Structure 1
C-alpha cells in the first residue's frame, strides 16, 4: 500500500529554517521541535505507519496572546501519494487556511473539522493569537482506505463528505463524539512500537465513528430516523439562499414538532439549528470577503441579513474584528 504522503514541506516566515518531512519505509515516530517564529514556538509530533496512515500533531504556543486577528504561520505543501484523505481537527484554538488546491479559504475550530481528498495540498495557515492552538491531522492513502473499508464504503464516505470528485477541501461540523478520537490519537506516556500500535487502533476507531456519523455504517444509533432527519435538515438548509426559514417552518416540512427537531439536530451536530447554520454562513462570509471584492451589502443580503449593520455586528462578535480588517491585509 502507498504511503499517506510522499513529502511535506513547511516554509516558515523570516527567522526560521524551512522543514521538509519525508515518510520512512518502516513504522516510525518522532517529536520535532521547530525553531521559534517571531510570534510563537511550534512543536511537532509525527507518526508514520508503513501501511499508509500518518499522524501529525502541531502545538502553537504564542509568546503573547492577543484578540487582534490571525497570525500567518507560513506555507505548507504536501505531495499526497496520488490521492489521500486528510482530516484536520483542533481541540484548542482556531485556524484559517488560504487553500491553493483548490482555491478557497476555510476556517476550522472546535466542533468543525477540515476534510481533504486530493493528490496534493498547498495552503497558508493562519492561527488565532487569542489562545494557544493544538491541531491533530490524520492522513490515509486512498489504497489503504479501500483495503480497510472496501471500495464501495470508501466511495459512500467520500460522497457523504462532499469530497468527490477530487480535489476537494471542505469544513464540516462534527460532534465531539467523533472528533475526540482524533484528539486522542497520540497517547501520552508511551513511545516506540506500543505508541504506534495504540495510534493505529485509535485511527481505526475514528474511521468507525466517522462512518457511523455519516450514515455509512451498517447499523447503529447514527442510522436512526432522528439522525437521518437531522442530516436531511442540515443538507436542506445548506442549499437555502438568503434568509433561513423559521424553526416552525422547518419542523412543518419534516412533520415533527419544532422542539423535537431542534433537539435531534443538536444531538447530531452539537448546536441548535439556527446557531450552527448562522455560524457556517459567517465562515463562508469570511472566506468570500478575503478571496473576493464582493460588496458587504450584497454579501449580507445573500446571507439573509435585513440590514448590513446586523451582519457587521454578527461578524465582529464571531471573529473579534470587522470584515474591513480582512481587506486591509
Structure 2
C-alpha cells in the first residue's frame, strides 16, 4: 500500500491486491504495463484438416488457464494426431481438463516412450485429471466436428497454498492420481466444472479479467474437493437427479420455441422452481442459460458447414427475430454469424 499526501483536507490511498504471489513486474513498471491479456497460439495445420488454437491466461506463480478450440468439421470423422508433448517441469503439476464438445484421446507414455502407451479418452462429462512430474503424450482430436476444451494447470506448491496439505492429499487420493497412475478420467456433473468453464469469460478485460478468473479457479477447486469427498446421496435425491438428466437430454434435442417453466414443470413432475434449482445444481447453469449456450454452440458449428439462411436458423433455435439471434451469438463468441460465415 502507498499513501499519497496532497492538500491537508485530502488523502489518496492506492491499494495493490495480489493473488498466488503474483509479481509486480520489473522495477518501475506500472499496473497498466502488467500483462492481463489472453495469449493465443495457432497450431500449424494443413488447410484440408481445419484449424486449431489455444488461448492462455497466466494467473501468476505459473498457474495457467487454457481454452483450446479445434475446427475440424471438414476433416475425416476419426481421431487426428495434433501434436506431441514432452515436458519435465521443475515440480509436479496438477492438471484438470474438461471437454465442452468433441472427443479427445491422449496417448500417454507413463514410463517413457520406450514402453507401451495408455490411451486416455475424454469427452463432455468425462473430465481428465493429472498429477505428473513428466508428461509424454500424443494428442489426438476427433475429426468431423467442432471441439472445445478448457483446462487449468497448477504447480504442486501453489495447489498446497490454495487448499492445504491434507485436502490436497485427499483430493489426489480420491481422484486416484499419483506416481503410479498419473492420469485418471472421472464422470463429473456440469455444476462442478462450470466455474472452470466460465473462468476465461471474455466480458472482463484487464486486471478484472484475471481477478475474475482467479475467483473461478478457487471456486472450481473447492467444488471439486467437496464433490469427491461427499457421501452417497439419498435415494430420493438420486431419483430427482435422473429426472434432471432426462430434462437435460430433452433440451439437447429440442428445436424451435422454448417451453415455459410451467410446461416443463408439468412434463417432469417437479415445481418450476425446484426443477430449475436442481438443474443448476446438476449442470451449473439455469435451464434457460444452458439451452441458450447449447443452441448457440450448435449454431456456430452449423454455420461453418451449411449455407442455411440466418432467418431459418434463428427460427429453428427459437428466436422470434433474426436480430435477437445475431445479438446473442455475438455476446457469446465476440463476433457475428455473418463474420464467421465470411471467414469460413
TM-score past 0.5 threshold: yes
Question: Relative to structure 1, is the Cα distance of residues 207 and 168 closer, same or farther in structure 2, using a 3 angstrom cutoff?
Answer: same
Partners of 2:21 and 2:163 in 1: how far apart?
Answer: 16
Q: Which residue of 2 aligns with 1:57?
A: 67
Aligned residue for 1:203, secondary structure, equals helix
Partners of 2:243 and 2:176 in 1: how far apart?
Answer: 22
Q: Which residue of 2 aligns with 1:322?
A: none
Partners of 1:179 and 1:110 in 2: how far apart?
Answer: 10
| Residues 125-164 of structure 1 aligned to structure 2 (within 5 Å) | 125-164=139-178
Higher Cα radius of gyration: 2
Q: Which residue of 2 aligns with 1:81?
A: 90
Moved more, 125-134 or 73-82: 73-82
Unaligned ranges ≥5, structure 1 = 4-24, 216-222, 228-255, 272-329
Aligned residue for 2:45, secondary structure, equals coil
Partners of 2:139 and 2:193 in 1: how far apart?
Answer: 20
Partners of 1:59 and 1:225 in 2: how far apart?
Answer: 35
Moved more, 72-81 or 133-142: 72-81
- For the aligned residue pairs, the C-alpha RMSD in angstroms reads 2.9
Structure 1 position 203 matched with structure 2 position 201: no
Q: Which residue of 2 aligns with 1:44?
A: 54
- Within the candidate set 147, 164, 173, 2:187 is matched to 173
| Residues 1-329 of structure 1 aligned to structure 2 (within 5 Å) | 29-38=38-47, 39-62=49-72, 64-66=74-76, 68-102=77-111, 103-165=117-179, 168-215=182-229, 223=230, 225-226=232-233, 263=239, 266=242
- 8 Å CA contact 2:106–2:121 kept in 1: the answer is yes
Partners of 1:26 and 1:261 in 2: how far apart?
Answer: 46
Q: Which residue of 2 aligns with 1:249?
A: none
Q: Which residue of 1 aligns with 2:309?
A: none
Moved more, 91-100 or 191-200: 191-200
Structure showing the higher strand proportion among its residues: 1
State the shift of 1:190 in Å.
3.0
TM-score normalized with structure 2 length = 0.55
Aligned residue for 2:172, secondary structure, equals helix
State the shift of 1:26 in Å.
7.3
Question: Relative to structure 1, is the Cα distance of residues 41 and 182 closer, same or farther in structure 2, using a 3 angstrom cutoff?
Answer: same
- 8 Å CA contact 1:226–1:264 kept in 2: the answer is no
Partners of 1:166 and 1:49 in 2: how far apart?
Answer: 29
State the shift of 1:78 in Å.
2.7
How many residues are treated as equivalent by the alignment?
Answer: 210
State the shift of 1:161 in Å.
0.2
Partners of 2:164 and 2:149 in 1: how far apart?
Answer: 29
Q: Which residue of 2 aligns with 1:218?
A: none
Any idea what the Cα deviations from partners look like across 1:181-203, whole Å, max 9, x if unmatched? 22212011333322111111111
Partners of 2:129 and 2:61 in 1: how far apart?
Answer: 21
Partners of 1:142 and 1:205 in 2: how far apart?
Answer: 18
Question: Relative to structure 1, is the Cα distance of residues 31 and 132 closer, same or farther in structure 2, using a 3 angstrom cutoff?
Answer: same
**Could you list the runs of 4 or more consecutive aligned residues of structure 1 that deviate by over 4 angstroms after TM superposition?**
25-28, 264-268
Moved more, 57-66 or 175-184: 57-66
TM-score normalized with structure 1 length = 0.57
Partners of 1:190 and 1:262 in 2: how far apart?
Answer: 37
State the shift of 1:35 in Å.
3.3
- 8 Å CA contact 1:178–1:206 kept in 2: the answer is yes
